[in-house]
Structure 1
Amino acid sequence: MQISTILATKGSTVVTVTPDQTIREAVVLLVDKHIGAAVVIDGAGHPVGIISERDIMRLLAQNDHALSEPVSRVMTRNVTIARPGDDTRVVSKTMTVGRFRHLPVMDHGELVGIISIGDVVKAQLDEYEGEIETLQTRVEKG
């Protein structure tokens, strides 16, 4: 299954913040949207990073007054991305090895979505269940 299939199901809405927004603003956005990460974009709308709840927790563990700091202080800068044509098995391995919970999806330089490890696992389970049903039908028909 391809990442484009996941995006077709979940949608392509991407919550974004800018590097100069405060961490407090990012936290409010994550809480309001019930999400675990936001893509950090520059003035032209290009991704320059990602900020996750884990990034924020690490910073707050060091400095409990950090909520007024800019997102740029804590964001992950060298972001690994997925593409719509990528296979979920490859992306799953990338996310597991890199310990990423979220990956922005880029297509020809444009941000077209974001996926979570939960999205990928669900898609793989759905795919495997379909394969199992097909095999069971073949066995039953003999």
Structure 2
Amino acid sequence: MNGNVTVGQVMRRDFVGANEGDGLRETAALMLEENVDTVVVLRGAEPIGMVTQRDVLETAVERADLDGVTVADVMRSNPPTVAPGESLTTATDQMSGTDSRHLLVTEDEELAGVITEHDVVTASTLDPGVDREHVEADERATIEAATATAEGTGTGEEYSNQGICELCGTLSHDLSSFNGQLVCTDCKNV
């Protein structure tokens, strides 16, 4: 996991909130409507808990009737929190340590957003310090140099003609450049 990416860079600043007195059925409908898997329970502006899809499902299985069930009845009090300046590794450790798939992101005791397990997994390959265009230009230059050498027009450095065909994805012992791609004999002849 990339330690250079912070929670603040990947957290969701928009979140769905509910009051502890709200009905669970209405809150579940709101979760579906907003397409979220967690709701932050607020008392004024203070986050006091959270309700997840799993909490709603467990309650629905345990109770035949959800009438009269409030958010306060099922919410997780004192939800786990993380600061926006912390690394994704820290967030992952915190999720593992608290057995939670969601963390409230707080700064100076104020709610700044929410980060989910999905957010961490999605963002784990990000590196804000890498200029992607520069990396892609370097990769193209390396491929072009290998192609030129394989065709006998390069600097004299020796490269193997073995590799993965860029069209069909098979391992080939005889790649050649065709239309700007390294391709196997079968794909070149198509």
1:94-133 equivalences under 5 Å are 94-127=94-127
CA 1:90–1:47: 2 relative to 1, 3 Å: same
Q: Tell me, yes or no, if structure 1 residue 69 matches structure 2 residue 69.
A: yes
Contact 1:92 1:121 in 2 (8 A): no
Higher helix share: 1
CA 1:86–1:67: 2 relative to 1, 3 Å: farther
Q: Tell me, yes or no, if structure 1 residue 20 matches structure 2 residue 24.
A: no
Displacement of 1:60 in angstroms is 1.2
Q: How many residues are paired up?
A: 132
What are the ranges of 5 or more consecutive residues in structure 1 without an aligned counterpart? none
Code of the aligned partner of 2:9: T
CA RMSD of aligned residues (A): 2.4
Q: What is the TM-score normalised by the length of structure 1?
A: 0.83
Larger radius of gyration: 2
Name the counterpart of 1:6: 10
Q: Which runs of 4+ in 1 moved over 2 A?
A: 96-99
Name the counterpart of 2:50: 50
* Higher relative contact order structure (alpha carbons within 8 Å, sequence separation ≥ 6): 1
1:95-122 deviation per Cα after TM superposition (whole angstroms, max 9, x unaligned): 1332211111111111110111110111
Give the share of equivalent positions with the same residue, in percent. Answer: 23
Name the counterpart of 1:35: 36
Higher strand share: 2
CA distance in 2, matches of 1:67, 1:92: 36
